[in-house]
Structure 1
Amino acid sequence: MAIPVETFFLRPNEQGTKQGRIQQIVAEGILSGRFRRGEKLPSSRALARHLGVSRITVTLAYTELLANDYLTSRGRSGYYVSDNAPEAPDFQPSEAADTVDWDVALAARYPGAARLGKPADWTRYRYPFIYGQPDPGLFDHANWRLCAMQALGARDFAGMTDDQYDRDDPELVRFLARHTLPRRGITAAPEEILVSLGAQNALWMAAQLLTPGRNVVVEDPCYPDLRAVLAGTGAKVTPLPVDEHGLRPETIPDGTQVIFCTPSHQCPTSATLPQARRVALLARAAELGAVVVEDDYEFEMSFLRPPSPALKSLDAEGRVIHVGSFSKSLFPGLRLGYLVGASRFVAEARAVRAAQLRHPPGLIQRTTAHFLRLGHYDALMRRTAKVLAERRRVLERAIAEHGLGVAGRGAHGGSSVWMRAPEGCDTGILAERLREVSVLIEPGAPFFSAGRPPRNYYRLGYSSIPSERIPNGVARIAEALAEVGRGG
């Protein structure tokens, strides 16, 4: 039986080469059971004409599938699904009812964080003022691809494939120790560095080791997922309000055992903790015998002036755990970060990581190491900083023009501005209204602790919106705010 040519089609905007997409169509058809063993495929000429591609493209796709034993060639007769091709399992979907009482069966429940509003199709919106998303026009695709190919080479085979649960990629650790950390004023030995699956994974490991059942302080507002992580450990969490300069050390209560903070770039207000407060924070931690976990996210985005040295750089007692990430500066899907602390703590964190996920993928570690070592990362940061500085200027000009309220802006740079709407405005409702005119903002309520959080804050990110769209986007926000003020 021949497979009709009409069953083949290339979806618009689908990623990958045409040859690869044709291969994928055939492979998926076989693996799903739609294409059966022995069935004949359309001729290369017929399929090329149907898909609007060259005949050589189809021939190359068929040849690759032939080499992988998905297809077989029968002389002048054409291509057929191979007798050795994978065969879809022949089973009927289960109709068994779910009779388990999950309220009883679940021994523990993990509290989810308050979700920040970002639709899956955010790239379709014309004015996406959302935080933490990369601009594909800025990323160095060509050199990242070359570094990935180098990591896949025979020379790097062991680094890519070995089970490194008890260590990390030495190239990556070496770069962190010699380049990244010294730029933050930190000196660390390899045994004091642990690679993680992003900053959140590092915060999770720190929480598992430091906070179960203990008195913990967090900033208010703060990163929502941190509160969820701490709730999962049974920590007794005290949220402390921040002001325009960040956390106030004198408000840290007696009995506090762990302090989570973002000194260089408070999340989400962007405040930078002044030197005097940093010294006071460390002194208060020493007085309490507490450990400080420093989330040093986004320090690379300091385009207005050099960033302040990390809190860890002032730590003479080894009580600061420093957390950093490449996921913000490169791309979120990378999921690669690190933590730095006393060797005893890092050894315990390494054991926790091994029990949870063994280690971050060797290929990702080695690719990133090459990207850093060859200078591509620093070049990308310089290029990104220049673009973000321009977007920041355009955004601030538009905000001032429309008289919108600013609650916090990074003194060193960053990629967002913390905004305040008039009292009585619910920015959750505002965000829904703005979606209708292709504008995305982030309501601020999820950043605050439980109870009755203020609902008139919101965040405007500018990492993924072109400068030329910012003025119109801000104008639409101002118009929506005016309608809310009129009771519309």
Structure 2
Amino acid sequence: MTLPVETFFLHPEAQGTLQQQIQQMIAQGILSGRFQQGEKLPSTRKLATHLGVSRITVTIAYTELLANDYLTSKGRSGYFVSENAPAPPTFAITPEGQDAVDWTRAIGQKFSGGAAMSKPQDWAKFRYPFIYGQADPTLFDHTNWRLCALQALGQRDFNSLTTDYFDQDDPQLIEFIARHTLPRRGITARPEQILITLGAQNALWLTTQVLLTQRRRAALEDPCYPALRDILSQSRCHVTPVRVDHDGLPPDAIPPDTDVIFTTPSHQCPTNATMPMDRRRALLDRAREMDALIVEDDYEFEMSFLKSPSPALKSLDADGRVIYVGSFSKSLFPGLRLGYLVGSEPFIREARALRASVLRHPPGHIQRTAAYFLSLGHYDALIRRMGTALQERRKVMEEALAAHALRISGRGYYGGSSFWMRAPDHINTDDLARKLQSKGVLIEPGRAFFAGTHQPSNYYRLAYSSIPTSRIREGVDIIAHEMALTV
């Protein structure tokens, strides 16, 4: 029998090209048992008319399914579900019911319920997305990234694509980081002192697991990156938040029994403060005095478009007590999940062994694609293009904020991609964010960045990395208007 064309429909939330959506729709129909072996599919013309797409799109989708043995073609009779198509399960699906397990007792340690930031998955559909850390498709170099990915998938790089590195990394990527990326931060390192991670967050988790125990103490900035606070809480170590000032983390406020200090000296998260050189030296002296280690998260140093960034804290370290965390996820795109750790060889050896037991290594073809993109100069060109665009957006946003007298609490004098804002004391920015979202405006409430039970509720972050320059003023107008209505 011929399958009725009315049973075919494209899901409005489906991802990918129309051709991919049609392939997925038919494959799912076969795998679920709705389309049986030997049944005839609608003609390409009829299905194209029904779905409102071009006939060639349906033809290509059918051809791909034919090549994958989901469909078969019988001369001029049309397309049929192949006899060799994957068969649906023959066992009965157990209906969902009440678990007999008491999960409140079975779960030994909870990892949910932290303060990590959440962002709408459909953020790009909002007209005024003042949110941090998302890639701007108008700035990203799609063409050259695609070419590098194709090169990494080629026969010449077959081993990098398919090899199980176990606990090792792509030598080309390691070489580029050692010879090009780190020297720009004043850092020298051997390959044995570098470890590739699944982004900076994975690097921080590995570091925490290796260095901290239930008897040790960690000091972290307050406010700080919320996910770091969650990572430290999960490690069950003692945690001391240290309130930052306009120069970042004050060394004298760090408790004397601290074992590991977490800091973002080049670009404090989220206040954007840059730690001056004299304070960096004082922090190293303080760590030496306590025999403590320092974990330096050097995110966003590439976004120093106003002036050259200060040397990394690790470049000043003569004792080997600084562990450096870098990432390409912020400067390329967050979905890349590619970062790196730099530290003394004994530490990297343990972090490497832990990584191997959890995920072995980041995918080889991702590492090789990034290595090509970096080594061929595309990365530097992208950073320059992003810097120019962000500088223009920053100028427009500063003017718009000044026009409404909205208070900037931290602006990042070297550059960056966001402003740390302070609303009047009576405004709760969680409520403000909900009201603005209904008007197409996305902001980030600041409460989650603070430690303790009495978190300030009137801070928020406005990023300009994902919003076009032409929409900034209008978006700020809406924010200011909504604030004026809040009493």
TM-score by length of 1: 0.96
Alpha-carbon distance between aligned partners in 1 of 2:300 and 2:165, rounded to the nearest angstrom: 28
Counterpart amino acid of residue 346 in structure 2: R
Aligned to 2:467: 465
d(CA) in 2 for partners of 1:468, 1:56: 37
Q: 1:117 to 1:476 in 2, by over 3 A?
A: farther
Q: Distance in 2 between matches of 1:275 and 1:361?
A: 38
| Distance across 1 between alignment mates of 2:118 and 2:45 | 48
* Inter-partner Cα distance in structure 2 for 1:55 and 1:443: 48
Distance 1:437 1:61, change over 3 A: closer
- Which position in structure 1 is the counterpart of 2:396? 394
Aligned partner of 2:123: which letter?
W
**1:316 to 2:310 alignment:** no
Instruction: Map 1:151-170 onto structure 2 (within 5 A).
Output: 151-170=152-171
Contact kept, 8 Å, 1:138 with 1:383, in 2: the verdict is yes
Instruction: Using the TM superposition, give the Cα deviation of residue 211 of structure 1 relative to its aligned residue in structure 2, in angstroms.
Output: 1.5
Kindly indicate whether residue 108 of structure 2 is the aligned counterpart of residue 107 of structure 1: yes
2:453 is equivalent to residue 455 of structure 1:
no
> Following the alignment from structure 2 to structure 1, what is the Cα–Cα distance between the partners of residues 373 and 421?
35
Cα deviation digits, residues 360-392 of structure 1 (max 9, x gap): 111111111111111111111111110000000
Partner of 1:191: 192
- Name 1:227's counterpart in structure 2: 229
- Post-superposition CA distance 1:381-438 (Å, at most 9, x none): 1111100000000000011111011111111100000011112221111111211221
Segments of structure 1 that go 5 or more residues without pairing to the other structure are: none
- Using a 3 Å threshold, how does the CA distance of structure 1 residues 100 and 167 change in structure 2: closer, same or farther? same
Displacement, 1:195? 0.3
Structure 2 distance, partners of 1:164, 1:31, is: 34
The whole-number CA distance in structure 2 between the counterparts of 1:392 and 1:479 is 21
Give SS of 2:410's match.
strand
Alpha carbons of 1:73 and 1:117: their partners in 2 closer, same or farther (altered >3 Å)?
A: closer
Q: What is the match of residue 135 of structure 2?
A: 134
For 1:53 and 1:97, the matched residues in 2 are separated by: 44
- State the 1:60 CA deviation: 3.0
Deviation at 1:12, TM superposition (A): 6.2
Partner of 2:117 in structure 1? 116
RMSD, matched Cα: 1.5
Aligned pairs, number: 485
Give the letter aligned to residue 460 of structure 1.
L
Quote the residue 1:145 is aligned against: 146
Q: Within 1, Cα distance between the matches of 2:169 and 2:343?
A: 15
Q: Does residue 345 of structure 1 match 2:347?
A: yes
Q: Specify the alignment match of 2:418 in structure 1.
A: 416
Cα distance in structure 2, aligned partners of 1:202 and 1:265: 18
Using the alignment, how far apart are the partners of 1:436 and 1:280 within structure 2?
47
Paired amino acid for 2:174: V
Maintained 8 Å contact 1:117/1:443: no
Gapped runs of 5+ residues in structure 2? none
Residue number among 265, 269, 279 corresponding to 2:271 in the alignment: 269
Secondary structure in 2 matching 1:181: helix
Partner of 2:211: 210
Q: Is the 8 A contact 1:112 1:225 kept in 2?
A: no
The alpha-carbon deviation at position 470 of structure 1 amounts to 0.6
- Corresponding position of 1:125: 126
Aligned 8 A contact 1:111 1:232 in 2: no
Contact kept, 8 Å, 2:167 with 2:355, in 1: the verdict is no
Change (3 A) 1:96 1:458: closer
Per-residue displacement from partner, 1:201-235 (whole Å, max 9, x unpaired)? 00000000111221110000000111110011111
Matched letter for residue 328 of structure 1: K
Provide the rounded CA distance (Å) in 2 between the counterparts of 1:30 and 1:296. Answer: 49
Q: Match for residue 49 of structure 1?
A: 49
Does residue 354 in structure 1 map to residue 350 in structure 2?
no
Mean Cα deviation higher: 112-121 or 439-448: 112-121
After superposition, the Cα gap between the structure-2 partners of 1:54 and 1:474, relative to the gap in structure 1 and judged at 3 Å, is: closer
- 1:442 matched to 2:444? The reply is yes
Give the whole-Å Cα distance in 2 for the aligned partners of 1:209 and 1:344: 11
**Which whole-Å CA distance do the structure 2 matches of 1:7 and 1:95 have between them?**
26
Q: Deviations over 1:439-464 (max 9, x none)?
A: 11111111000220111111101110
CA shift, 1:51, in A, is 3.5
- Report the counterpart of residue 304 of structure 1 in structure 2: 306
TM-score (norm 2): 0.97
- 2:116–2:230: 8 Å Cα contact kept in structure 1? no
Do 2:194 and 2:340's aligned partners in 1 also have CA atoms closer than 8 Å?
yes
The DSSP-based 3-state class of the residue aligned with 2:266 is coil
Using the TM superposition, give the Cα deviation of residue 114 of structure 1 relative to its aligned residue in structure 2, in angstroms.
1.1
Which amino acid is 1:342 matched to? S
Percent sequence identity is 64
Q: Which amino acid aligns with 2:104?
A: D
Tell me if structure 2 keeps the 8 A contact 1:111–1:231: no
Alpha-carbon distance in structure 2 between the residues aligned to 1:17 and 1:267: 37
Q: How does 1:58-97 map to 2 (within 5 A)?
A: 58-90=58-90, 91-97=92-98
CA distance in 2, matches of 1:366, 1:111: 34
CA distance in 2, matches of 1:291, 1:82: 62
Q: Aligned with 2:219: secondary structure?
A: strand
CA contact (8 A) 2:326 2:339 kept: yes
Shift of 1:253: 1.4
Give the residue type in structure 2 aligned to 1:41.
L
Aligned to 2:181: 180
Residue 212 of structure 1 aligns with an amino acid whose one-letter code is T
Residue 468 (structure 2) pairs with residue 474 (structure 1): no
- 1:254 maps to what in 2? 256
TM-superposed CA distance for 1:189, in Å, is 0.5
Give the 4+ runs in structure 1 shifted more than 6 A: none
> Is the CA contact 2:266–2:273 (under 8 Å) kept in the aligned structure 1?
yes
Contact 2:128 2:475 (C-alpha < 8 Å) held by counterparts? yes
Residue type of the alignment partner of 1:73? S
Shift of 1:95: 4.3
CA distance in structure 1 between the aligned counterparts of 2:342 and 2:349, rounded to whole angstroms: 11
